[in-house]
Amino acid sequence: MIIKEAVTIDAPVKTVWQVFTEIESWSDWNTVCRECRLEDADAMGEGACISFELSPLLFPLRIAPVIEAYEEEKEVTWSGSKWGIHARHTFSFFPVDDGTRLDSLESFSGPMLWPARLSGMHRRLHGLTRRLLSAIKAEAEARHGK
């Protein structure tokens, strides 16, 4: 299962990157990820474990992926597994005109993927991704004064 989404943000990459990498502030400005924190590091970076709670179904789910790739102001990839499903999520940052395009690419695999599909998980996760990107856009544009 693959989920792709993108948003154009009226703020420079530096501002969008700052909003994105301040993971412990995410709970202040978005409704998708709650109780966001770094588990074993002082800042985002390769090898760091982040943790957050989201609700793709009826109950909250704590996710604790590890950052496997980190290129400042360009890309972050994290991955993790829960209940027989492996997820990998890449966020890519591109300067465009006077702003930033933020691309999100999530891939899911594993033996428990078929029940997730039956429950409408793809549609729900896609909705959460759209909401997260919209929240990043709103926060970055507010910080940039737009």
pLDDT digit string (tens) for 62-93? Answer: 888 999 999 999 999 999 887 777 889 999 99
For the chain, give the longest Cα–Cα distance.
Answer: 46
Domains contained in the chain, number: 1
pLDDT digit string (tens) for 23-56? Answer: 888 888 988 877 888 888 888 889 999 888 776 5
- Comparing C-alpha atoms, which of 49, 29, 57, 60 is closest to residue 133? 29
CATH, residue 103: 3.30.530.20
> For residue 115, is pLDDT > 80?
no
- Comparing C-alpha atoms, which of 69, 67, 91 is closest to residue 79? 67
Strand order in the sheet with 61-63: 34-38, 50-54, 61-63
In terms of residue numbers, what domain contains 118? 2-144
